[in-house]
């Protein structure tokens, strides 16, 4: 009934769409789809109504089991129980036919005969096995399940392949034990197969023949060279000695060198940045102190800045002082001001290039001085100079602690050397 109701809605909706599109003058292409929907709705509604009335459920009282070996089957039935259930979908599991004990004896007998034929594969008989075995997992059209055991077990793989490399000269017979299972019944069927010597073929035969020739050559006395065979059973043999290739080694070596150079360069740059950061931090107290001193003497901040930068530049030209990162950045900032960049932007660039918090703070103080005037500027610089010298003491203490930590490894190595010098003579005396 639910299907009929759904198809009815589809039909009514399609008819309503056709009427609406025709009234509004919509394109013919839309009406074609709607007409097709009407046809589909009419057909589906008619078929569904016929199925509901003509195709009545067929009463079932028994379900046919499959033959032994076909397995179980699940049949979906509709169950009605008066006053309790109505059209309840119940999956009934139907198992395969159960066989009697007498029937299993015949099945196991036939299964054993079938196994002895099918296990041969491409071999001629059980007494002449020179190739791999075929191990069927089921017999008698699936009614019997089989598992295999071999003695000696190392001669046959689980897929039936003969492991010739494990065979010894006196190992010719292999006992095959097949455990057969049919439903709850079990049986064991045992028989023997005889392995024949396998003659090598193709490339294997050629390699074996060459080995025999070379073995005879090695047994010759008084020969300075081992002569290589140039022909074997009509097949020309061409011997070549591979030359040592250097391109791959050069490529590998070059790659290793490039990687090592990259790592070394990166490490060197990192060490350079660390040294630069240490030096620029150590320069800060002196820079702030000199700015505070010059501004306290009556100079403007920009004039004091220019004087410090000019003095450092002259000393660098004369080679009196080494490069100092803090003063280098001051010199760059002074040249920016001379090139027309405003003081606020120049101080901002100075703080960004230095990257350290104290330099950013100084740049902020100087930018505030330009915006709001020099009121309170001297007090800020004096306080910053005192704090900078205090921070320098703490930083110097930290560097000293790090240097002491770095000395632990060399001192440990020296301690081991001392122990070796002291212990080696004693150990030598004990051995004597």
What backbone phi and psi angles, to 5 degrees, belong to 256? -65, -40
Q: Identify the pLDDT of residue 418.
A: 83
Closest C-alpha to 121, from 110, 113, 130, 112? 130
pLDDT of residue 61: 62
Give residue 48's pLDDT.
72
Compute the distance between CA of residue 345 and CA of residue 337 in angstroms, rounded to an integer.
9
**pLDDT at residue 131 in the model:** 81
For tokens 């028989």, the residue is: 191
Whether 13 contacts 34, CB under 8 Å: no
Strands 138-139 and 173-182: unpaired
CA–chain centroid gap for 164, Å, is 39
**Cβ-based neighbours of 29, under 8 Å, separated by 6 or more:** none
What is the model's pLDDT at position 319? 85
Contact indicator for 319, 309 with CB cutoff of 8 Å = no
Tabulate helix, strand, coil % of the chain (nearest 5). 60, 15, 30
pTM over 0.75: no
Q: Which residue has the tokens 């103080």?
A: 365
Residues of the chain with pLDDT under 70: 1-7, 10-11, 14, 19-20, 22-35, 51-58, 60-61, 63, 65-71, 96-97, 100, 197-202, 204, 243-249, 251, 374, 399, 401-404, 406, 431-432
- For residue 198, the model assigns a pLDDT of 64
Give the chain's end-to-end CA distance (angstroms, integer): 108
CA 36 to centroid of chain Cα atoms: 53
Q: Which secondary-structure segment (H or E) carries 180?
A: strand 173-182
């Amino acid at each position: 009934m639910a299907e009929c109701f759904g198809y009815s809605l589809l039909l009514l909706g399609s008819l309503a769409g056709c009427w609406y599109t025709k009234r509004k003058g919509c394109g013919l292409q839309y009406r074609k789809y709607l007409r097709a929907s009407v046809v589909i709705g009419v057909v589906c509604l008619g078929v569904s109504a016929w199925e509901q009335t003509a195709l009545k459920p067929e009463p079932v009282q028994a379900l046919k089991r499959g033959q032994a070996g076909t397995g179980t089957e699940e049949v979906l039935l509709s169950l009605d129980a008066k006053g309790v259930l109505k059209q309840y979908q119940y999956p009934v599991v139907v198992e395969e036919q159960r066989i009697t004990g007498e029937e299993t004896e015949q099945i196991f007998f036939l299964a054993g005969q079938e196994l002895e034929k099918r296990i041969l594969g491409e071999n001629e008989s059980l007494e002449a096995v020179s190739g791999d075995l075929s191990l069927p997992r089921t017999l008698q059209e699936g009614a019997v399940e089989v598992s295999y055991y071999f003695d000696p077990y190392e001669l046959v793989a689980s897929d039936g392949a003969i492991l010739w490399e494990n065979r010894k000269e006196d190992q010719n017979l292999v006992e095959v034990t097949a455990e057969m299972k049919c439903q709850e019944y079990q049986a064991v069927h045992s028989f023997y197969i005889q392995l024949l010597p396998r003659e090598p073929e193709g490339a294997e035969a050629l390699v074996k023949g060459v080995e025999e020739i070379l073995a005879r050559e090695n047994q010759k006395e008084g020969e300075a060279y081992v002569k290589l065979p140039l022909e074997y059973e009509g097949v020309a043999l061409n011997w070549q000695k591979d030359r040592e290739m250097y391109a791959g080694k050069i490529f590998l070596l070059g790659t290793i060198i490039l990687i090592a150079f990259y790592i070394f360069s990166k490490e060197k740059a990192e060490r350079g940045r660390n040294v630069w950061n240490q030096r620029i931090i150590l320069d800060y107290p002196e820079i702030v102190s000199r700015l505070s001193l010059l501004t306290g003497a009556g100079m403007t901040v920009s004039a004091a800045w220019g004087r410090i930068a000019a003095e450092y530049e002259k000393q660098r030209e004369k080679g009196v002082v080494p490069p100092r990162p803090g003063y280098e950045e001051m010199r760059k900032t002074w040249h920016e001001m001379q090139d027309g960049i405003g003081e606020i932007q120049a101080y901002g660039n100075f703080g960004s290039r230095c990257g350290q918090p104290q330099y950013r703070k100084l740049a902020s103080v100087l930018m505030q001085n330009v915006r709001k005037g020099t009121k309170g500027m001297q007090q800020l610089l004096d306080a910053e100079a005192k704090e900078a010298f205090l921070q320098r003491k703490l930083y110097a203490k930290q560097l000293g602690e790090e240097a002491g930590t770095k000395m632990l490894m060399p001192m440990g190595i020296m301690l081991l050397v001392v122990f070796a010098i002291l212990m080696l003579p004693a150990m030598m005396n004990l051995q004597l």
